[in-house]
Structures are given as C-alpha cells and as structure tokens.
Amino acid sequence: MKEDELKDLIKKSKLKPAEGFKDRVMHQIEMEKALTPNREKIKKSRFPETSFAIFGIMYGLIFATGFFLHLRTQENLLDSSLFLKLTILIAAISGVYYLISVFDDSLGSGKLRTR
Amino acid sequence: MDEKQRINQILSGDTSAFGYFVDTYQEMAMAIAFRICQNKEEAEDIAQNAFVKAFKNLHTFKIKSKFSTWFYRIVYNTAQTQMRKSVYKTEFVASKHEELNEQTDDHAVAGIPSEEQEKLIDRAMAKIPNSEAVVLTLFYLEENSIKEVAEIMGLTTSNVKVKLHRGRKNLAEAIKKEGS
C-alpha cells in the first residue's frame, strides 16, 4: 500500500468527541479551580527587603545623630549620655517596627492564622 | 492572537481562553487516546482528564516549546496510566505475521464508501500493537516529525522509525485482511 494512500486513510480516522465535550472540560476546570484552597496561594515573603530597610534606617539615624552631636559638642560620643539615650530610643523604635513586620509577614504568608 | 499569547492570557487568570486549546486539540487527543484504549467513551474520559491536567500544569510549559508536542505527551501518559488502572485491560496478543507479501493488494479499500473506510481503518488499527497505532496516528494525522513523535512517546528516534516501519507493514496487512 502506497504511503499517500495510507496517509489518506489514517486521516479519515480522526475522532470527534461527543456533543458538549468542550463544555464538560471547561466546567471541570472551573470546578477544580474553585475548590483549590487559598492556602496554596501563598504570598511571596518580602521580609528580607523589609529587614534591610529597617536596620538600614536605624543605623543611618544613629550615625546621623552621632555626627550631629559630635559637631555640636565636640566631645567623645561614648561619654555622652544624650547620645546613648538617643541611640537606645532609635533602637527601641526600630525593634518595635521590626516585630510588627515579622508579625505581618507571618500573617501574609499564612504561617500564622488569626480568627 | 498566537498560542503563546493565549497561554500568557490563561496564566494571568483568564480561564476561558483555554477553550481555544480544547477546540483545536480535542480531535487529536481523542485519536491518541482511542488508539490506546480502543473505546470511545474511555477515550473521551482520557482526553478530558488530559485537558484538565494540561490546564493545571500550564505554568510548567516552556513558552519556547511547541504546545502540541507537550500536550500530546500528557494525553499519551494519561492514557497509559488509565489503561494500567483499568480493570478490563485488553492485552494485545502478538500474532505471528507472515513475511510481508510485497505485492499486497493495493486496491484493498478501493470502491469502499468513505464511511466504511473509516470503520475499516479503526478495525485494522485495533489489530496492530497500540504503540505502532499511536506512532502512525501522530505521524500521519498531525504530521509530527519523527523527533516530535519520539518526544511525545518517550522513545528514541530509532525506536520511532522501527515502529513506523512495522506499523505501516502491519496496518497494510490488517487492512488487506479486513477488506477481503
């Protein structure tokens, strides 16, 4: 049997699915999509970028405070109680902000659930 | 809109855009599935499951590849898996074929109405090994290259060439017997 003849014969054997096949497929897809739990749609954590920003700003503020105080008082910053108090204040505020970020990230990624 | 744009559309959340792929590939999916399971209802089932799997795994499709090759591989694997699970497996018992008579009757199907020819082909395809039937279907129906057929079926190109050669021989023999 010639190849062309065989090819023509095989081409005649294409099968048509029953009526409504496409509707059934799309319906099944929509159903499965609707039943997919939201748990699977986990947000990508932006925690590394946030941490870098918080600590970067903290050290930036401490450096700026120290530089400003040194210019004004011309004394050793480590002996200055004002500088130490300001440093502790900046670190405390940054620490609280860091904790809030950790909590928010945990909520967003689904690791921590609240009712 | 080409297929790659439609795929991006689907991945962006437009599920209805997948309907295009169902329309385009449903007949071929049925053909591949039917060659393996030899039952129309089961072939529809397999094709439906394959489309759903393709949708779920669309995010893994490499946009530079050919969608049809990727999708037919899913259909083929789904059919194989379903057949392995199926209770009513029909095993192909390899019949001993006589040496091909080179002077096969080239007019085995001449004069037979078109509708009858389709049934004849289906009956003849059912008599040859499933893998050869699938190779012939992929090669002639969709005009996939040997390399694409090998990729779809997880075979080497040499294997595909051998199956194609044997498939042609066996199918011609089966057609001759069915036609007589």
Closest Cβ opposite residue A14 in set B23, B27, B56: B27
Question: Over chain A, what is the mean pLDDT?
Answer: 81
Residues of A in contact with B125 (CB under 8 A): 13
CB-based burial of residue A10 (10 Å sphere; 0-12 exposed, 13-18 middle, 19+ buried)? buried
Residue B140, Cα to own-chain centre: how many angstroms?
Answer: 10
CB-based burial of residue A47 (10 Å sphere; 0-12 exposed, 13-18 middle, 19+ buried)? middle
Mean pLDDT for the stretch of residues B32-45: 91
- Report the share of chain A in percent with pLDDT over 70: 83
Mean pLDDT for the stretch of residues B9-21: 92
Instruction: Give whole-number Cα distances, A87 to A52, A69, A99, in Å.
Output: 18, 12, 18
Question: Over chain B, what is the mean pLDDT?
Answer: 84
Q: Is the dihedral of CA A23, A24, A30, A34 positive or negative?
A: positive
User: How is residue B22 written in tokens?
Assistant: 């169902």
User: Are A5 and B106 in contact (CB < 8 Å)?
Assistant: yes
Closest Cβ opposite residue B121 in set A3, A12, A25: A12
Q: How far apart are the first and last CA of chain B?
A: 49
Burial A74-104 (b: 16+ CB within 10 A, else e): eeeeeebeebeebbeebeeebeeeeeebeee
User: Are B52 and A29 in contact (CB < 8 Å)?
Assistant: yes
User: Are B141 and A33 in contact (CB < 8 Å)?
Assistant: no
Mean pLDDT for the stretch of residues A15-32: 90
Q: Is the pTM of this model over 0.90?
A: no
User: Are A33 and B137 in contact (CB < 8 Å)?
Assistant: no
List residues in chain A touching B: CB distance below 8 A. Answer: 1-3, 5-7, 9-18, 21-22, 24-26, 28-30, 32-33
DSSP state of B144: -
Query: Is the Cβ of B118 closer than 8 Å to some Cβ of chain A?
Result: yes
Q: Residue A93's pLDDT band (boundaries 50, 70, 90)? A: very high
Rounded to whole angstroms, the Cα distance separating B164 from B159 reads 8
User: Are B44 and A21 in contact (CB < 8 Å)?
Assistant: yes
Would you tell me the crossing angle of helices A47-73 and A81-108 to the nearest 10 degrees? 170
Are B62 and B176 a contacting pair, CB within 8 Å?
Answer: no
- For residue B104, the model assigns a pLDDT of 44
Pairs across A and B, CB distance < 8 A:
87
User: Are A10 and B121 in contact (CB < 8 Å)?
Assistant: yes
Rounded to whole angstroms, the Cα distance separating B116 from B122 reads 10
Residues of A in contact with B171 (CB under 8 A): 6
Residue B14 zone, left/alpha/beta (φ > 0; ψ -120 to 50; rest): beta
Mean pLDDT for the stretch of residues A21-27: 93
The chain A residue lying nearest B133, using CA atoms, is A10
Q: Residue B101's pLDDT band (boundaries 50, 70, 90)? A: very low
Are B33 and B50 a contacting pair, CB within 8 Å?
Answer: yes
- For residue B110, the model assigns a pLDDT of 60
- pLDDT single digits (tens) A41-58: 555 566 677 788 899 999
Q: Residue B144's pLDDT band (boundaries 50, 70, 90)? A: confident
User: Are A32 and B117 in contact (CB < 8 Å)?
Assistant: no
Question: Which residue in B20, B35, B137 has the most chain A C-beta atoms within 10 A of its own C-beta, making it the best mutation to test that interface?
Answer: B137
Residues of A in contact with B117 (CB under 8 A): 9, 12
